Copies of this chain bind each other. A is one copy, B any other.
Amino acid sequence: MSLEITCTRNEADKKQISRCKETIENSSDSLNAISKVLSLAGSEVRLKILFLLNIENELCPCDIADILEMSVPAVSQHIRKMKDAGIITSRREGQTLYYSLVKSEHNVLNGIFNSISTKKKTA
């Protein structure tokens, strides 16, 4: 952990560096929270789950496993991470648990869903 001065070039703009440090500091909570959400959505499997929940409103782990052609425990473990992070929630109906997105206006996920494009059918 060497925190000596690393950059000693003449062009180094001390004011810019202080300003940037302050900017990062001021947005620190937001950066931390958003990076957590992005790291969840940054898994292709989880992005697919979130994308599906956005379209279908709610789905059970069992259906998701069928759709994504993967094992139920694998799906369940992805779901748990997203539930722990508070971006999805569940509703029980008998033995079945239905998961859905926790909606929020200022949610970074909304922008992500908007940028997912559908390929036109080529057949």
Contacts and interface: CB of A to CB of B under 8 A. Distances in A.
Given A20-B56, A23-B52, A47 B35 contact: yes
B32 A38 contact: no
Interface size class of A (residues with CB under 8 A): 35 or more
A77 interface: no
Chain A interface, DSSP helix/strand/loop, else mixed: helix
| 9 A-B pairs with the lowest CB-CB distances in the bound complex, closest first | A111-B111, A39-B42, A7-B62, A42-B42, A38-B42, A35-B44, A108-B115, A20-B67, A35-B47
Interface of A: 2-3, 5-7, 9, 11-13, 16-17, 20-21, 23-24, 26-32, 34-36, 38-44, 47-48, 51-52, 55-56, 59-60, 62-63, 65-69, 71-72, 95-96, 106-108, 110-112, 114-119, 121
